[in-house]
């Protein structure tokens, strides 16, 4: 037992020395023309500088060191860009260079070994996913098919707000409402279901809400193993274990959605064949994916389809957590007023001052 303990201690110490020597020698060996950088610490680099809220910390650093600065988070090199001109250069002239994603634990466990569009590296596979998304799923014609869904969900939200307020002007916490609205719109487009709202108390809806809550939480949590590889062996934060548990629940749920839509497609086709009618049911995104799977099963595997569902359902919470309150308010103005105006022009002269009334009654 004592020999095993000594061996473990020696291994940890050896790894520590290797990392230290690597950092020291790489610093002297690579005299690259790097952007300005604040003083860092051995091993952890600039991790100690990251204080909440992170975006304000980075803003303060950019004021001191410039619009393009270099940071090191453990073993990972990071470039922070805050100049619109530099950002444009990164994502137009050098977009392919910046297209790859780092290999993170969340990408490996929760995103099917980095095969979802948000985590896949640039290449043929990523280009196919993007083409599928832009041409087949979110094309103008496809989105036009779902206009009714968006309008219905906004009306339901307005109706619920009216009931809760008793028809009076009251302060409303819009963040959670807009997230629920976004989820319901996306899920009706994806699977023809709505999982949020005071009337949604069934087990399936609860399971989806719990899964999405954990997905957002674990994607947002910092994992030391992503920056200091030695901690990947230990998992003292328990992040890997939580992700493995969530992956199983998430994978089973998305597989259920795929199998359910397959069954509906089969039943619909059988009914049409039986009575000779064209039994048209509203197509969901999963229907479109399954049709593509029929034509090219090698690429559109169930894993790929589940990764796409994860990407689409995880999209809105991520935006919600990043965008500031002002953006949320503008989204609320647009959604609410567009419904009140019957889909009319927000900026037109016929709005009757409605947008001004909404702005006055939305808490700042």
Share of the chain above pLDDT 90, in %: 26
Task: CATH 1.10.630.10 in the chain: give the residue spans.
Answer: 130-322
Summarised one tens digit per residue, pLDDT across range 28-64 is 545 568 899 999 998 899 999 888 888 899 999 999 9
**For the ranges 211-225, 291-305, 308-322, the one whose mean pLDDT is highest:** 291-305
CA distance 220 to 216: 6
| Architecture, CATH, for domain 130-322 | Orthogonal Bundle (1.10)
Show the tokens assigned to 66. Answer: 């410039």
Share of the chain above pLDDT 70, in %: 73
The burial of 357, by beta-carbon neighbours within 10 Å (0-12 exposed, 13-18 middle, 19 or more buried), is given as: middle
Q: Which residues pair with 71 in a beta bridge?
A: 78
Q: What is the pLDDT of residue 248?
A: 96
Is the CB of residue 19 less than 8 Å from the CB of residue 48?
no
**For the ranges 89-93, 110-114, 155-159, 329-333, the one whose mean pLDDT is highest:** 110-114
Summarised one tens digit per residue, pLDDT across range 126-175 is 988 988 888 888 888 888 888 888 889 888 888 888 888 887 888 888 77
358 pLDDT band (50/70/90 cuts)? very low
Q: How many CB atoms lie within 10 A of CB 250?
A: 22
Average pLDDT, the chain: 79
Q: What is the pLDDT of residue 19?
A: 66
Q: How far is CA 349 from CA 50, 337, 338, 352, in A?
A: 48, 14, 14, 7
Q: What is the pLDDT of residue 291?
A: 92
Q: What is the pLDDT of residue 279?
A: 55
Q: How far is CA 109 from CA 194, 306, 325, in A?
A: 27, 13, 31
Q: Which of 221, 310, 206, 210 is closest to 258 using CA atoms?
A: 310
- Name the 3-class secondary structure at 41: strand
CA distance 14 to 197: 55
On the question of pLDDT at 296 being above 80, the answer is yes
3-26 mean pLDDT = 60
What does DSSP assign to residue 351?
G
Show the tokens assigned to 309. Answer: 């569902």
Question: For 31-61, b where at least 16 C-beta lie within 10 A, e where not — what string?
Answer: eeeeeebeebeeebbbbebeeeeeeeebeeb
Q: Which of 49, 93, 95 is closest to 69 using CA atoms?
A: 49
Show the tokens assigned to 141. Answer: 């014609």
In degrees rounded to 5, what are phi and psi of residue 69? -135, 155
Summarised one tens digit per residue, pLDDT across range 217-243 is 888 777 888 888 888 888 888 899 999
In degrees rounded to 5, what are phi and psi of residue 76? -100, 135
The burial of 70, by beta-carbon neighbours within 10 Å (0-12 exposed, 13-18 middle, 19 or more buried), is given as: middle
Summarised one tens digit per residue, pLDDT across range 342-351 is 444 444 444 4
């Amino acid at each position: 037992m004592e020999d095993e303990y000594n061996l473990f201690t020696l291994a940890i110490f050896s790894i520590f020395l290797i990392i230290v020597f690597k950092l020291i020698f790489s610093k002297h060996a690579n005299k690259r023309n790097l952007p300005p950088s604040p003083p860092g610490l051995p091993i952890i680099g600039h991790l100690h500088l990251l204080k909440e809220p992170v975006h304000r910390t980075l803003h303060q650093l950019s004021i001191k060191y410039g619009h393009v600065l270099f940071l090191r988070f453990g073993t990972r090199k990071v470039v922070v860009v805050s100049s619109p001109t530099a950002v444009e250069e990164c994502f137009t002239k050098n977009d392919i260079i910046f297209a790859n994603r780092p290999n993170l634990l969340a990408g490996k466990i929760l995103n099917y070994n980095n095969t979802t569009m948000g985590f896949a590296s640039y290449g043929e596979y990523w280009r196919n996913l993007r083409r599928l998304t832009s041409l087949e799923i979110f094309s103008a014609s496809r989105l036009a098919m779902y206009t009714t869904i968006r309008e219905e969900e906004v009306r339901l939200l307005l109706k619920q707000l009216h009931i809760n307020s008793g028809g009076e002007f009251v302060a409303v916490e819009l963040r959670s409402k807009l997230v629920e609205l976004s989820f319901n719109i996306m899920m009706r487009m994806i699977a023809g279901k709505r999982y949020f709202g005071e009337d949604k108390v069934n087990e399936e809806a609860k399971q989806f809400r719990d899964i999405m809550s954990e997905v957002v939480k674990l994607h947002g949590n910092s994992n030391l193993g992503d920056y200091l590889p030695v901690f990947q062996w230990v998992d003292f934060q328990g992040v890997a274990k939580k992700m493995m548990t969530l992956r199983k629940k998430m994978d089973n749920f998305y597989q259920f959605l795929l199998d359910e839509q397959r069954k509906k497609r089969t039943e619909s086709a059988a009914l049409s064949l039986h009575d000779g009618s064209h039994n048209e049911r509203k197509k969901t995104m999963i229907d479109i994916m399954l049709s593509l799977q029929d034509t090219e099963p090698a690429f559109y595997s169930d894993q790929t389809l589940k990764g796409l569902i994860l990407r689409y359902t995880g999209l809105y919470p991520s935006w919600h957590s990043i965008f500031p309150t002002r953006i949320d308010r503008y989204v609320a103005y647009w959604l609410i007023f567009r419904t009140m105006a019957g889909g009319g022009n927000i900026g037109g002269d016929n709005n009757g001052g409605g947008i001004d009334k909404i702005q006055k009654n939305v808490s700042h």
